[in-house]
């Protein structure tokens, strides 16, 4: 009897790649562009993973919708400029051990890989192309087509596209939004401690790992428990 299909879904910013430098710089440029006070660095990193419209409303609750739109447009333009100047791989480098872990998981039988990110499709495409990762992810869920995290829409879509049961899926992420999304979708959440929220905010996670080297064993243990 064959094993059931399994799906490992990854967040991107703060989980696979460290894009904080460009995120903070682009957000600073956006706020400066409309003459609004620039949020603190920790506040900016705290909204990573949310769709931009939701993120801007949280960062600038006293501004109106028109200003939020201007902030979003300014952020996108600045971020794309920074990425174009440095190149996607240099602008958002992979965390240590990420590529090796992805290749190892991709080689496992009955195991599929996916992405669920607050990035746009264009942004994700550029990032995956820059790192040569297009081949790895069979399902790619982006902000263009879904409500913002922690709404479970992205995970639900990934499960439908792959035909994997929720009980056989795992969400890997660095923020509370990822872990809350996983819980809302009925899948197991594995938090990573190297990202933008830290352990204290990952209370919805089933478990937390401190390095990519720990991920394969963590998943193997979980799969054994679900057999």
> How many residues appear in the chain?
227
The CA distance from 185 to 61, in Å, is 28
Report the alpha-carbon distance of residue 216 to residue 101 in Å, rounded: 7
Query: Going by C-beta distance under 8 Å and a sequence separation of 6 or more, which residues neighbour residue 189?
Result: 170, 171, 173, 178, 179, 181, 182, 183, 204, 205, 206
61: Cα within 13 Å, side-chain hemisphere: 2
Model pLDDT, residue 90: 85
Closest CA to 120 of 61, 30, 53: 53
Positions annotated as catalytic residues are 11, 13
DSSP string, 62-82: TS-HHHHHHHHHHHHHHHHHH
Task: Tell me which H or E stretch contains 56.
Answer: helix 52-59
Task: Say what the pLDDT of residue 17 is.
Answer: 95
Adjacent-strand bridge partners of 139: 114
- Residue in this structure with the two tokens 């990035």, named with its chain if needed: 119
Per-residue pLDDT of the chain (227 residues; tens, 9 = 90+): 467 899 999 999 999 999 888 999 999 999 999 999 999 999 999 999 888 999 999 999 999 999 999 999 999 999 889 888 888 788 899 999 999 999 999 999 999 999 999 998 998 999 999 999 988 999 999 999 999 999 999 999 999 999 999 999 999 999 999 999 999 999 999 999 999 998 999 999 999 999 999 999 999 888 776 65
Q: Is 85 exposed, middle or buried (0-12, 13-18, 19+ CB in 10 A)?
A: exposed
Answer yes or no: pTM beyond 0.85: yes
């Amino acid at each position: 009897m064959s094993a059931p299909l399994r799906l490992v879904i990854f967040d991107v910013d703060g989980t696979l790649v460290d894009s904080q430098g460009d995120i903070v710089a682009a957000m600073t440029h956006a706020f400066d562009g409309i003459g609004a006070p620039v949020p603190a660095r920790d506040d900016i990193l705290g909204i990573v993973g949310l769709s931009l419209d939701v993120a801007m409303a949280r960062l600038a609750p006293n501004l109106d919708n028109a200003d939020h739109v201007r902030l979003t447009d300014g952020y996108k333009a600045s971020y794309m400029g920074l990425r174009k100047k440095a190149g996607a791989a240099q602008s958002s480098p992979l965390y240590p051990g990420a590529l090796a872990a992805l290749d190892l998981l991709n080689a496992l039988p009955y195991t599929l890989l996916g992405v669920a990110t607050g990035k746009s499709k264009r942004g994700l495409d550029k990032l995956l192309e820059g790192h040569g990762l297009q081949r790895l992810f069979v399902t790619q869920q982006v902000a263009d087509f879904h409500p913002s995290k922690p709404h479970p829409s992205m995970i639900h879509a990934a499960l439908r596209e792959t035909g994997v049961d929720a009980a056989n899926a795992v969400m890997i992420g660095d923020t509370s939004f990822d872990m809350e999304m996983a819980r809302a979708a009925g899948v197991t959440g594995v938090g990573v401690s190297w990202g933008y929220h830290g352990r204290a905010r990952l209370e919805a996670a089933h478990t937390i790992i401190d390095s990519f080297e720990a991920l394969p064993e963590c998943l193997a243990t979980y799969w054994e428990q679900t057999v």
